[in-house]
Amino acid sequence: MAAPKKQQKKKVRINKNLRCQLCIEGISEVSYKDTYRISKFLSRRGKIIPRIRTGTCARHQNQIANAVKNARYMALLPYTNNI
């Protein structure tokens, strides 16, 4: 019996030159009602994209995470998105 092949992990390219887009735009508070802005930080599946991939700062990432969770509860954003 042959040993199972090791699954290769997909390498995610990380751009270290990314800057926090919300800091550049000068947004101090992220609202759950602003679904257009929040949806840019969600994957196609509806998951929150980690800040290493979007370049968001810790303060804004925290605000985004809370806004997404509020928006999901208010049925403005989906919990999951089946493709």
Q: Minimum CB separation from Zn ion for residue 1, in Å?
A: 53
Q: Does residue 60 touch Zn ion according to CB under 5 A?
A: yes
Angstrom distance (rounded) from CA 5 to CA 61: 37
Backbone angles phi, psi at 48, to 5 degrees: -75, 130
Backbone angles phi, psi at 42, to 5 degrees: -115, 150
Q: Does residue 57 touch Zn ion according to CB under 5 A?
A: yes
Q: Minimum CB separation from Zn ion for residue 60, in Å?
A: 4
User: Quick one: which segment of 2-10, 18-26, 36-44, 71-79 binds Zn ion (CB under 5 A)?
Assistant: 18-26
Q: Does residue 51 touch Zn ion according to CB under 5 A?
A: no
Q: Minimum CB separation from Zn ion for residue 83, in Å?
A: 30
Among 63, 64, 34, CA closest to 49: 64
